[in-house]
Amino acid sequence: MPACPVSLLQQREIEARVAAPLIAEFAVVMGWDAALGAAARAIQRLAREAGRQAAAAAGADSLAALAGVVETLWARDGALEIEILSCDAADLFFNVTGCRYAEMYARMGVRDCGFALSCSRDAAFGEGFNPGIRLQRRWTIMGGARFCDFRFTLDG
């Protein structure tokens, strides 16, 4: 039987159906902040590896290659509405003006886990993609802002 590839949005929903109840149970033992922090750290390790794999698959680890991954993988099937502000050798700046990930977590009743399950991956993914990539972000839709301000830069 052939594999049935799922979008990243679908994958995050599948993961959340397992992870959110686990986080809630761990929170009973260790407290909410500790449980959510532990989950975020584990997810960030996975994101770094996913970033390495994405760079290998792209055959490049530049910010332009990362922009391609954002547009084809992260935003697949309309999961994100993205406004690219700049993309060159030194920076990749874009705003996310629509986020179906945030909508999905809210619909599932686990929005309080959403940042740890999705947003906390972004910087780690960039670092895995290229160890010189850094992300600065002040706002997220998940956190209640009107948009997410992604500011990826490349050291050097």
Q: What is the pLDDT of residues 9-21, one digit of tens each?
A: 999 999 999 999 9
- pLDDT attached to residue 151: 98
Average pLDDT over residues 57-81: 95
pLDDT of residue 3: 56
Q: Are 90 and 96 in contact (CB under 8 A)?
A: no
Cα 107 from Cα 33, distance rounded (Å): 22
Q: pLDDT of 115-135, one tens digit each?
A: 999 999 999 999 999 999 999
Q: Are 35 and 26 in contact (CB under 8 A)?
A: yes
Between β-strands 148-154 and 80-87, what pairing exists: parallel, antiparallel or unpaired? unpaired
Quote the CA–CA distance of 81 and 129 in Å, as a whole number. Answer: 22
Binning pLDDT at 50, 70 and 90, where does residue 55 land? very high
8-154 belongs to which CATH class? alpha beta
CA distance linking residue 25 with residue 63, whole number of Å: 39
Rounded to the nearest 5 degrees, what angle is found at the Cα of 56, between the Cα atoms of 53 and 17? 20
Q: In the numeric block, which tokens belong to residue 40?
A: 């975020």
Per-residue pLDDT tens over the stretch 87-106: 999 999 999 999 999 999 99
**How much is the pTM?**
0.92
Please say if the pLDDT value at position 85 is more than 70.
Answer: yes
Which percentage of the chain shows pLDDT scores above 90?
Answer: 94
Query: Average pLDDT, stretch 65-85?
Result: 95
pLDDT, position 1 = 41
Q: What are phi and psi of 18, to 5 degrees?
A: -95, -50
- Amino acid 147: pLDDT: 98
If you compute the radius of gyration of the chain from its CA atoms, what whole number of angstroms results?
Answer: 16
- pLDDT confidence bin for 5, thresholds 50/70/90: confident
Instruction: List C-alpha distances in Å: 62 to 52, 87, 95, 123, 145.
Output: 12, 10, 19, 15, 29
98 closest CA partner among 135, 129, 140, 67: 140
